[in-house]
Every structure is written in C-alpha cells, then in structure tokens.
C-alpha cells in the first residue's frame, strides 16, 4: 500500500500519517525527492487492508491511498511516478554527469584495469569520444579461479589516477562485502555484477552506503527478481540505483547471451529507476556491440556501459567483446544522431579536460 500526500501537505500532516502507519505495525518509508510525498507501507501485517485504506484516505493532507500488488514497493513506479535522475560523480575530482530523465549517459572502459598506463590511456580515449563515465574492473568475477582476478586495490588506485587525469567518474565492481569500504573510497558508482544480483547480504550492505549503484541483471533472472534485488538496496535507504540489462541465457548460442531488449520498455514501465544496456556482455562479440547498443537506446534505455580496449587481442579479460577506441568514437557519433530522435540529450564530459566544474552537455549534431 502507498499513501500519496497532497502537493504542499504540511510536515505535521506527514508526521501524523507516519505515526498512524507505525501504530498499525507497518514500517513507513517516505520517498524522498518527489514533489508529492509518497509513503510506502512495508512489512507483513495481518490486517484488513481495505479498512486501513479507508482510514488513511480520510486523513488530512492525504490525496489518495493505493494498494500495490507488486512485491517490489520501493522500486515500483507507483511509489515514484517520475523517472529518477541520479548525479554520478561523488569523488572530489570527478566531473559529475546525470543519468535518467532526458539524459543519455555512456559508461565506457576496459573489462579489467590492467595497468596505470592502460586505464589512463583508455580513459583519455573514451573521454575524447564523449563518454560520461569510466568503467573498469579491479575485482573481477571470473568463471575459473585460474583466470586473471583483477588488480584489487592497485587497480582502484589506477582508476583514481584515470579520474584525476580526465575528470570521468568511475564505475567499478564490488565483488564482496569485505571490499566494500575500500571500493567506496575510490569509486563513484558501485557495480554489482550479474553473478551477485541475488547476493542478498551484499545488496543489504550496499543499501547502507550512499554510493550510486549499477545493479546488473542475473543472466537467469526474471525482471521481477531483478526488481526485488533492487528493492533490497532501496530498502536500506540507498535510493540511487540503476538497472543494467546485460543479456540472459536462452537456447541461442550464436552470441554469448541474448539481449533482452523487451526488458527495457518493461522496466521503464514498472520502475522509476534508470535503465542501462550492456551490449558487450550481452553479445560477447565486438562485431555486434554497436548494433545492440543503438537498439537499447532506441528501446528507451537511459544509458550504455561498453567495454573498450586499445588492444583487444591482448586484453586480460573480455577482449573479444571490446571495441577499439576508434569504433567506440564512431558509436558515440551514431548516438549523437540517435539522441534527438528519442528525445534525449547525450550527457558527456567535455573532451580531455580534467577538473572542469560541471558536466558538459555536448551539443547535438543531428
Ligand atoms: C563486467 O562488467 O565486466 C562483468 C563481469 O559483467 P557481468 O557481471 O554482467 O558479467
Ligand atoms: Mn567484462
């Protein structure tokens, strides 16, 4: 159930509703950042909901009360009717960019951070092409324990050096709750990988931080489970969650996974959280990445996360699906042409400049 307060309802009226919710045994959750306060009732209480609905509907300052059938209350668009906009770039030397609403935001970089020179070089290349954020894994989830596991703390330090050199905010994966504090110290955005989508303990810990989160969909998870995973983070009080479609397992084996393009409009309808497409992991092949990237944006995604490497043949992970910087730059040009068609503005850092005060909105060249 959600209680939608009237626009301009007083603090006292909101407090009275909250008190009454608490008295029923539910946990009230006030959604911040919306003009009209919306109070969600969380928890399981054995009570006649229809009677309760009437009781709340007659309280001062209440506009309407609505029963929500979805199990994800906080991720539901009912609770937060407007699309969420998130500012990414909380570290002091990051140049913040927005995701959500009209904005189209691109995160790009290598699968793994391999060396300081590698990550700074790629950061400069993707920044020059107009990317808004730098991606790069320092803690890597690999199918084999014998594969490269990432540089760990050293990798985080190299990411920070790349941010200092370009101003690009950094998105990097946190694999384990033990590393959360150290990853938060260096990252602007915490990535939760596909394999950890239902690591509920990790989701709870990340929910306690105030770092924006990029939550990747588990390849075997339904949209409803994806939204429930986001709900864990939101329930901790961390409202800044982005959802990333990165391909699901189907019978098709001509690509690494199958991009669930349908999930984009489905998610946009069900939730206010920004949706990001990862065409790199979804296809597993650089040849298909640009087409699927553009398809994702045409379907309504708010952003992309794309793997880029100067020398894909020698990449320590995911080289086959990594674009060379030149191809990435062409993709950005294509996105600039697509953006106005889908009523979007491409958010990007001004090329090659570090420490610039605000995010540049690169003029659309249609
Ligand atoms: C990655 O982003 O490099 C990654 C491992 O992604 P996923 O968790 O989607 O497989
Ligand atoms: Mn990868």
Nearest ligand for residue 249 CA: 1
Identify whether residues 57 and 101 lie together within a single domain.
no
Judge contact between 171 and 134, C-beta under 8 A. Answer: yes
Report the residue count for the chain.
366
- The stretch 152-171 carries a mean pLDDT of 98
Q: What DSSP designation does 347 have?
A: E
Residues 194-205: what's their mean pLDDT? 98
Q: Above 60 in pLDDT, residue 365?
A: no
Determine the pLDDT at residue 354: 43
Query: Is residue 233, in this structure, part of any structural domain at all?
Result: yes
Assess contact for 6 and 62: CB atoms under 8 A.
yes
User: What is the average per-residue pLDDT within 157-176?
Assistant: 98
Q: Does the residue 179 lie in any domain?
A: yes
Model confidence band, residue 305 (pLDDT cutoffs 50, 70, 90): very high
366 domain residue, yes or no: no
Place of tokens 């008295």: 23
- Give the pLDDT mean for 132-160: 96
Output the CA 278–ligand 2 centroid distance in Å: 10
User: For residue 322, which of 336, 339, 305, 338 has the smallest C-alpha distance?
Assistant: 305
pLDDT at 361 over 70: no
9 & 120 share domain: no
- Same domain, residue pair 100 and 53: no
Looking at the fold, whether 9 and 105 belong to one and the same domain comes out as: no
Task: State the average pLDDT for the chain.
Answer: 93
> Per the structure, how many domains does the chain have?
2
Q: What residues make up the domain containing 171?
A: 86-347
Q: Which residues line ligand 1 (CB under 6 A)?
A: 111, 137, 141, 193-195, 216, 246, 281
pLDDT for 349 beyond 90: no
How far is the centre of ligand 2, averaged over its atoms, from the C-alpha of 120 (Å)?
A: 18
Task: Answer whether 350's CB lies under 8 Å from 356's CB.
Answer: yes
pLDDT at 355: 38
Measure the CA angle with vertex 266, ends 252 and 133; round to 5°: 85
Q: What is the Cβ-side half-sphere exposure of residue 174, based on CA atoms within 13 angstroms?
A: 30
Q: Name beta bridge partners: 100.
A: 103
Q: Residues 52-73: pLDDT tens digits?
A: 999 999 999 999 999 888 889 9
Region 81-103: mean pLDDT is: 96
Q: What is the pLDDT of residue 366?
A: 29
Give dist(CA 141, CA 222) in Å, integer: 21
pLDDT score of 358: 35
């Amino acid at each position: 159930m959600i209680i939608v307060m009237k626009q301009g309802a007083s603090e006292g009226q909101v407090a009275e509703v909250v008190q009454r919710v608490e008295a029923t045994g539910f946990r009230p959750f006030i959604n911040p950042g919306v003009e009209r306060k919306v109070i969600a009732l969380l928890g399981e209480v054995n009570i006649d909901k229809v009677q309760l609905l009437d009781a709340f509907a007659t309280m001062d300052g209440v506009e309407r009360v609505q029963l929500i059938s979805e199990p994800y209350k906080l991720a539901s668009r009912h609770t937060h009717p407007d699309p969420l906009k998130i500012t990414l770039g909380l570290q002091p030397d990051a140049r913040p960019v927005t995701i959500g609403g009209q904005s189209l935001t691109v995160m790009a970089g290598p699968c793994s951070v391999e060396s300081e020179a590698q990550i700074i070089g790629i950061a400069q290349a993707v920044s020059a092409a107009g990317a808004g954020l730098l991606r790069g894994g320092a803690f890597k989830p690999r199918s084999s324990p014998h594969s490269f596991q990432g540089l760990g703390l050293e990798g985080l330090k190299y990411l920070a050096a790349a941010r200092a050199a370009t101003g690009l905010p950094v998105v990097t994966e946190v694999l384990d709750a033990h590393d959360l504090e150290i990853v938060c110290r260096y990252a602007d955005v915490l990535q939760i990988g596909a394999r950890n989508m239902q690591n509920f303990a990790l989701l709870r810990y990340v929910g306690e931080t105030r770092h924006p989160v990029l939550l990747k969909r588990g390849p075997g998870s339904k949209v409803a489970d994806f939204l429930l995973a986001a709900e864990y983070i939101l329930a901790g009080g961390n409202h800044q969650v982005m959802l990333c479609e990165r391909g699901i397992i189907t019978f098709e084996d001509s690509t690494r996974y199958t991009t669930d393009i349908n999930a984009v409009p489905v998610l946009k309808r069900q939730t206010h959280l920004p949706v990001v497409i990862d065409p790199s992991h979804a296809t597993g092949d650089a040849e298909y990445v640009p087409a699927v990237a553009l398809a994702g944006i045409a379907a309504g995604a708010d952003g992309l996360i794309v793997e880029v490497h100067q020398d894909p043949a020698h990449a320590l992970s995911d080289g086959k699906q990594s674009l060379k910087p030149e191809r990435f730059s062409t993709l950005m040009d294509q996105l600039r042409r697509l953006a106005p068609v889908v009523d979007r503005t491409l958010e990007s850092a001004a090329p090659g400049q570090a420490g610039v005060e605000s995010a540049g909105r690169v003029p659309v060249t249609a």
